[in-house]
């Protein structure tokens, strides 16, 4: 008789956990815990075992539940409710690291009653955010402790104050504007009673824009967004003395990382006009002249004669027809043999790769619909998109570095004229 699935899963968990612990012991690293000072990341060597455990534990958990409980737990709207209260009232920062505060003391620093704070935080504790080391006293876990940092608190704020209300209106938006790719016809627009895109709406609201900006900062500090995945997983040195135009390059952080590592590269960062001042001010003396900034809307015809056109983490916020327009706008300046390099999310094909990652990727894809009417793309979707922009684009390489959140796609443009 074949081994029953739940036994197989339990065996996988047991064997993989043993492998993880062996590596941690050999390297003198802490075993995982929820302690507020616990380390957050496992070494890359245990990535496969970590994937196996995360997938097997969640499958085993779900197998042992009846369907309504499983759907309810995975739905999690009440998780967003208490996360929203935590970020809005900055509750994590009310509890001293390493110390505790009573529910009553916390309530006195919020508009909430002691009873409501108790109920909300005990719900959060069921998500392992905060703990109650003695009755009535609240302490940190590693999950609540990161929220003491205002930047990380803003990350939770952007998720629960911007994307969650937007998500609740997505189905209404899909009914109202079927098949729309317009950034002015999203769940976000309905939730905010606006016809401005999220970019324009937040641009006119500096406080909310700053919170959203901090969410991006919090993300980019995670090891899976390390600039090394950009500098070390594409052969930039083979380009020699080359000009890279970095579209939607924001503050120029990644442009500067490239220029620091590859002395022959010149990088022109193009972004919206309002990004220019603060971005230029951040360029160190030794990179001035090699990292420059230019206000340029990437839907307008390109004006820089570049060897590489580089998009990082930006095309995913535009629907297909807009991405196609942005790519077509590059054609007037492309030389035959020029490259378009994209570092962005690569959506996994269903069932390929770790399930917990696919689940996170599919959730992020829904957020793109809610905020932007855009989507994440598989390798085939990226290929289709580029070919729709111009038949001359050929996918030359795809890199999905171990541990990286983003992949790198390299397209070469061959003139068909
Ligand atoms: C998610 S951020 C990514 C920033 C940067 N590429 C990075 O990887 O950190 C998207 C960036 O694209 C810029 N952007 C969006 N639409 C644009 C457009 N039409 N033209 C130029 N820049 C644009 C935004 O201003 C923002 O800086």
State which of 209, 272, 327, 367 you would mutate to test the pocket of ligand 1, scoring each by most atoms of that ligand within 8 A of its C-beta: 272
Please report, rounded to a whole number, the percentage of residues in the chain having pLDDT higher than 70: 99
The average pLDDT across 315-319 equals: 97
Q: What is the average per-residue pLDDT within 388-414?
A: 97
Number of folded domains in the chain?
4
Please identify, among 26, 45, 70, the residue that sits at the C-terminal boundary of a domain.
70
For residues 322 and 238, state if they share a domain.
Answer: yes
Substitution candidate for ligand 1 out of 278, 314, 343 with most atoms within 8 A of CB: 314
Domain that holds residue 134: 76-147
pLDDT at 274 > cutoff 90: no
CA 357/CA 335 separation, integer angstroms: 38
Asked if the model's pLDDT at residue 300 lies above 80, the reply is yes
- Give the pLDDT score at 415: 83
The reply to whether ligand 1 has any atom less than 6 angstroms from the CB of 329 is: no
Question: What pLDDT, on a 0 to 100 scale, did the predictor assign at position 417?
Answer: 66
pLDDT at 74: 82
pLDDT average, residue stretch 237-255:
94
Pair (60, 155) in one structural domain: no
The pLDDT of residue 132 is above 70: yes
- pLDDT digits 0-9 by tens, 356-365: 999 999 999 9
pTM of the shown model = 0.92
- Residues 231 and 264 reside in one and the same domain: yes
Beta strands in 224-348 (DSSP E): 242-247, 265-271, 291-295, 308-312, 338-344
Are residues 242 and 319 both part of a single domain?
yes
Mean pLDDT (whole number) for 267-276: 87
Q: Which of 220, 240, 270 is the last residue of a domain?
A: 220
Domain end position, chosen among 147, 172, 207: 147
Examine the pLDDT at 416 and tell me if it is beyond 90. Answer: no
Looking at the structure, do residues 155 and 140 belong to the same domain, yes or no?
Answer: no
Shortest-distance Cα residue to atom 20 of ligand 1: 297
Q: How does DSSP assign 1-27, residue by residue?
A: -PPPHHHHHHHHHHHHHHHHHHHHHHT
What proportions of the chain, in percent to the nearest 5, are helix, strand and coil? 55, 15, 35
pLDDT tens per residue, range 340-358: 999 999 999 999 999 999 9
Q: Are residues 328 and 353 in the same domain?
A: yes
């Amino acid at each position: 008789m074949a081994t029953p699935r739940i036994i197989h899963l339990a065996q996988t968990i047991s064997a993989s956990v043993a492998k993880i612990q062996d590596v941690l012991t050999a390297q003198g690293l802490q075993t995982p815990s929820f302690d507020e000072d616990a380390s957050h990341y496992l070494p890359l060597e245990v990535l496969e075992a970590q994937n196996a455990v995360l997938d097997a534990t969640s499958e085993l958990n779900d197998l042992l539940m009846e369907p309504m409980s499983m759907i309810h737990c995975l739905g999690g709207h009440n998780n967003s409710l208490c996360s929203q209260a935590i970020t809005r009232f900055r509750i994590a920062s009310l509890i001293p690291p390493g110390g505790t505060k009573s529910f009553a003391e916390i309530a006195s620093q919020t508009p909430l009653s002691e009873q409501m704070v108790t109920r909300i935080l005990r719900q959060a504790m069921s998500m392992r955010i905060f703990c109650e080391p003695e009755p009535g006293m609240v302490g940190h876990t590693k999950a609540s402790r990161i929220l003491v940092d205002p930047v990380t608190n803003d990350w939770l704020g952007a998720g629960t104050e911007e994307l969650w209300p937007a998500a609740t209106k997505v189905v209404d938006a899909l009914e109202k504007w079927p098949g729309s790719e317009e950034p002015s016809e999203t769940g976000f627009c309905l939730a905010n009673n606006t016809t401005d895109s999220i970019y324009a709406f937040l641009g006119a609201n500096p406080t909310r824009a700053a919170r959203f900006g901090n969410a991006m900062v919090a993300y980019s500090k995670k090891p899976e967004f390390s600039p090394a995945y950009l500098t070390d997983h594409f052969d930039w040195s083979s380009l020699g003395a080359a000009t890279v135009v970095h579209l939607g390059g924001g503050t120029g952080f990644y442009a500067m990382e490239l220029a620091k590592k590859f002395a022959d590269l010149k990088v022109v960062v193009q972004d919206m006009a309002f990004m220019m001042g603060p971005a230029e001010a951040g360029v160190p003396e030794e990179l001035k002249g090699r990292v420059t900034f230019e206000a340029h809307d990437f839907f307008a015809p390109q004006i820089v004669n570049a060897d590489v056109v580089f998009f990082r983490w930006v095309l995913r916020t535009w629907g297909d027809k807009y991405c196609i327009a942005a790519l077509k706008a590059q054609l007037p300046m492309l030389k035959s043999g020029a490259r378009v390099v994209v570092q962005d999310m690569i959506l996994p094909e269903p069932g390929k790769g770790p399930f917990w990652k696919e689940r996170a990727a599919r959730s992020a894809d829904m957020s793109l619909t809610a905020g932007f009417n855009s989507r994440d793309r598989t390798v085939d979707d990226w290929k289709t998109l580029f070919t729709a922009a111009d038949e001359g684009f050929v996918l030359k390489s795809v890199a999905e570095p171990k541990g990286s959140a983003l992949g790198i796609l390299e397209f070469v443009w061959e003139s068909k004229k």
